[in-house]
Each structure stands twice: as C-alpha cells, then as structure tokens.
A and B are shown apart, each in its own frame.
Chain A
Amino acid sequence: DAKTTQPPSMDCAEGRAANLPCNHSTISGNEYVYWYRQIHSQGPQYIIHGLKNNETNEMASLIITEDRKSSTLILPHATLRDTAVYYCIAISSGTYKYIFGTGTRLKVLA
C-alpha cells in the first residue's frame, strides 16, 4: 500500500471550508484513497473514499488529482465539532491492513 503524507496540523475558521491535503505519490492503479477522522479519544470514523473520480457525501468532498498522486478532503462549512485528527490512507482492493500514520490535527477556531 502506498505511503501517504499529511501536514501535522492545520487551523480553520468556523464556517469556512477546511481543505486537508494528502500526498500519495506512489499510489498504484488499484489503490483507493480513504479518509477517516478521530475526534478526541473516540474510535476513528469513516468519512469518504475514492479511486479516480471526485466524490461527495453528506460529510465531505474528496478531490483526487488526475495523476492520483494527491488528494484533498474538503469540509465545506467547518464547525467546532469538526476539530479532530484526519487520516488519509491508500489501500488496495483486498488488503486487510490499514496503515493509518499520524494524520492531520485540524483545529476549527470560533
């Protein structure tokens, strides 16, 4: 599975869009990009995933570059409850092993 690189921390003003980048330059053709977040000491929560196309759900949007070497998770209107650690993971179909890394600590400021 490809290694991912994320900035260790980011701040975002409440109500603004939070754009969280992830670099996965060694990603292969069959590897998906998944995003999870972990609020305080709770278990990680699935947000969204994608392969090639951009994806959107009720929580967020995922933008994957055409070469698939990077992606951006967008929280369109960040709230204080979005303060969490966000993990970007690249995994291949059929793998059992999520490699989480240390993620990006997003702080939403009032």
Chain B
Amino acid sequence: DAGITQSPRHKVTETGTPVTLRCHQTENHRYMYWYRQDPGHGLRLIHYSYGVKDTDKGEVSDGYSVSRSKTEDFLLTLESATSSQTSVYFCAISEDRGTGYGYTFGSGTRLTVV
C-alpha cells in the first residue's frame, strides 16, 4: 500500500527466539497500529501508538512489545516467539484516532513459529 511498508513479508522462526517486525510509513501520520489476523478471529489489535514514544496496549498484547522512536517507524517485537504467535501481522496508520480518514493498512507480514 502506498506510504506504508512492512518488513519482512514472510518469516519463519523457531520457538523461543526474539522476532522484530517493522512498519515504516512515509505519510507522517501520527497514529500507528499493529494487528494480527487469525482464522475465525478477524483482526485483533495488539498495540498502538499515538506519537513518538507514546504507545499503549490493545486487546491481545501479551507476549508483544512495541517501540516508536521516530514518527515513521513502529516496531513490533516478540520477545520469545511461541507457536500461538504464528499469524499474519498487519500494520496500519491514520491521521486521527479512528474517525475521519480511516486507516491505511500495510500488506502484512506472515510469521510462522516452528
């Protein structure tokens, strides 16, 4: 999607290893979000950021941490990956907190924990 990129696109990692996913935006949007998508659960919010160094938990934050040291980058870290964290991870950005212009989503990162 224009203005937002996620890396890597695919990753296979072993249980217990740390993993960091990156979301990079060129839109200068204030708000950034990490979601995970699993069959039967739709998209669930993991963490979000409302500014540089300002982050908060979503509905499924256990086992994840985030950092935002620059407006354009929002990192999602799995400190010790588990098989239950096998999922597709989507980053999203928005100019405001949810109303107005809506969210723009990245193309996703498919993470497999073996």
Listed in ascending order, the chain B residues whose CB lies under 8 Å from chain A are 1, 31, 33, 40-45, 48, 50, 56, 58-59, 88, 90, 92, 97-99, 101-108, 110
A85 to B83, CA, bound (A): 26
Within 8 A of B (CB), among A17-57: 32, 34, 36, 41-46, 49
A94 to B66, CA, bound (A): 21
Q: Among the listed A32, A44, A94, which residue makes an inter-chain contact with B105, where contact means beta carbons less than 8 Å apart?
A: A44
Is chain A's interface secondary structure helix, strand, loop, or mixed overall? Answer: loop
Q: Is the CB–CB distance between A91 and B106 below 8 Å?
A: no
- By a CB distance below 8 angstroms, the chain B residues around A95 are 97-99
Q: Is the CB–CB distance between B98 and A91 below 8 Å?
A: yes
Q: Is the CB–CB distance between A100 and B43 below 8 Å?
A: yes
- By a CB distance below 8 angstroms, the chain A residues around B107 are 42-43
A49 to B92, CA, bound (A): 17
User: Taking each of A32, A43, A45, A95, which has the highest tally of chain B beta carbons within 10 Å of its own beta carbon?
Assistant: A43
A60 CB to nearest B CB, Å: 13
5 A-B pairs with the lowest CB-CB distances in the bound complex, closest first: A43-B105, A46-B102, A100-B42, A100-B43, A93-B99
Q: Is the CB–CB distance between A49 and B56 below 8 Å?
A: no
- Verify if A81 is at the interface (C-beta below 8 Å from B): no
A97 to B102, CA, bound (A): 12
- By a CB distance below 8 angstroms, the chain A residues around B110 are 41
- By a CB distance below 8 angstroms, the chain A residues around B105 are 42-45
- By a CB distance below 8 angstroms, the chain B residues around A34 are 102
- By a CB distance below 8 angstroms, the chain B residues around A45 are 105
Q: Is the CB–CB distance between A41 and B88 below 8 Å?
A: yes
